[in-house]
Structure 1
Amino acid sequence: MKVEVKTLAAKDAGALDLDDAVFGIGEVRADLLQRVVKWQLARRQAGTHKAKERNEIARTGKKYGRQKGGGGARHGNRRAPIFVGGGKAHGPRVRSHAHDLPKKVRTLALKHALSSKAGSESLIIVDEAVLKDAKTKAARDAFAKLKLSNALIIDGDTVNENFAKAASNIPHIDVLPAQGLNVYDVLRHDQLVLTKAAVEKIHERFAAKETA
């Protein structure tokens, strides 16, 4: 598929061919996207929630009261969960929430995420994302010309330092190198902006996986 290329000033800069196998999938599978988003969020979850169990409570284990005649049940440990201040029964423990997901599923989901942006006309290709000075006003003016309000901007191997600094002060705008492209960030932004270098890296990435 052929798409128009724009400059940061929203002027025409030619056209570019996109791989239909990556950007032209007709029927986007929401189930794949959901699985990968769930996998990403599970991996970033800290899992540091913790409650003390009865063996971690600093209370006496000495039997209190008489065995009989007390008018109640017979207890021998104040650390038991039934007492106020006792240990938590089956409480949360420190653990990892990460789970496995086949690499083929992750690769296919990224293709579907990119195709969803292309199919909804939310994909914009620019020739380069470079600013002479790290001025937020210059970045804001460029985004206004491109009609960007909530966008993920992907560059090549590296991101222009001035452009990244200028964009960092603008809400709902994220800038990542091509290596950082992921399903969750693509879907949570209304628009996806790719530079020519980013498109080249994406094509190389999927071509290498198919060869492997």
Structure 2
Amino acid sequence: MNLKPYYNRLEQNLGAQGWMTIGTWAQSPFQVIWSAILIQNASANNADAAATDLFSQTKNDPAVIRGLSVDELAEIIKPAGLYQTKAKYIKAAADWLEQYNDDAKLIEQMSREELQSELIGVKGIGNETGDDILMYAFHKPVFIVDTYAKRQFEWMGIDMPKDYRKFQVIAEDDWQLNWDEAQELHALIDTFGKQVKNQKQWDESMMAGFTLK
């Protein structure tokens, strides 16, 4: 599926978004990992507050995080909500990093398929969270099948599978986007998704009548 026309239509009307949709949390690979977990079922403001506190207390160092108890870590990330659960998830991610000596460059050398598989094997990291990490921490181009993307494909009249990976495979087939464009498309989709919330608004927008082939 050639997504370039979709990308171009959104960018022409919205302008370049860059890192807009991920707030302050794309400053380092480790910060991306912790923040991708913190944002789960939380507002961006609360997740950012928790990420700021985590950096203040740990400098985002996985070794420091491994040295904290779940209760100690939960207290630090309290603004994000579900803090006991998220503390366990963050510690699980820190444990996963240890096998690579906390070397983000080493992990980035893995193939997308291998890394994608490993990430979703970490407790608390599902498909969408894993793909956020895959793209923003380790620079692998990927189409992130989030709620906004699902809605917009539906509004375009495209019948896509409900299954995350099956949807992704179809979207990425001949999608013709490099990493810069992949992360920009994700930002564009989410920015527009926050503005246009139903089929009527879509049909009244600059995307009226637009579809993909």
Q: Which has the larger radius of gyration?
A: 1
**Which structure shows the higher helix fraction?**
2
Do they fold alike, i.e. is TM over 0.5? no
**So what's the TM-score if we normalise by structure 2?**
0.23
| Higher RCO structure, 1 or 2 (CA under 8 Å, sep 6+) | 2
**So what's the TM-score if we normalise by structure 1?**
0.23
**Which structure shows the higher strand fraction?**
1
